[in-house]
Amino acid sequence: MASELAKGPAVGFKGQKDQAEAATIHVFGNPHLMRNCYYWLPPLLLTGLVLLFSGELGDARHTHWIVDLVQNWFPSMTRKEADLIHVYFRKFGHFSIYALLFIAWVRTLRWRLNFRPGAASLLALLIILSVALVDEGGQAFIKTRTSNPWDVLLDLSGAVMATLIIFPFLHQPSGWKRKNVQGKHG
């Protein structure tokens, strides 16, 4: 009986390993699933990161190392000047992450869900506004954070800037469609 028990797990493990390899090949070899991941993962992960950092993890204490870094690079800089650079760095973070978030959402809406360029942009802006309101609204309930309505405007300005930059490109077919068209004609 002991010899049967010794054989059992090894055989079962080998079978499980083969099943796992087959499942991995099935998942990563599935073009529909890969296309969904290609479009949906960036906006969902970025949205999750924004909301994660809207809590205590995004507290200024966690980015205050920038002040020390700036003062090490520029020893003649006062603490007040370094703190001001820290504030600008955090505000630029708001602007740029929401610009990236907009691009990720508009890309999914335009080329995965086939929204027209204007509709994709408008809906992406509404998503950005919603995330920004949740971000700042949630900070009102966290002792170490301050909720600032001006940050919502800053977040939206990042998204609007991204809109102005990428809108002309929204009239192009998606990369997946270009590859399929080239494959059929080329």
Per-residue pLDDT tens digits for 80-138: 988 888 889 889 999 999 999 999 999 999 999 999 999 999 999 999 999 999 999 98
pLDDT in the model for residue 11: 47
Q: At 14, is the pLDDT very low, low, confident or very high (cuts 50, 70, 90)?
A: low
Contacts with 158 (C-beta within 8 Å, 6 or more apart), sequence order = 94, 95, 96, 97, 98, 99, 102
Please name the helix (run of DSSP H) or strand (run of DSSP E) that holds residue 115, with its range, or none: none
Q: Which residue has the higher pLDDT, 2 or 163?
A: 163
pTM: 0.74
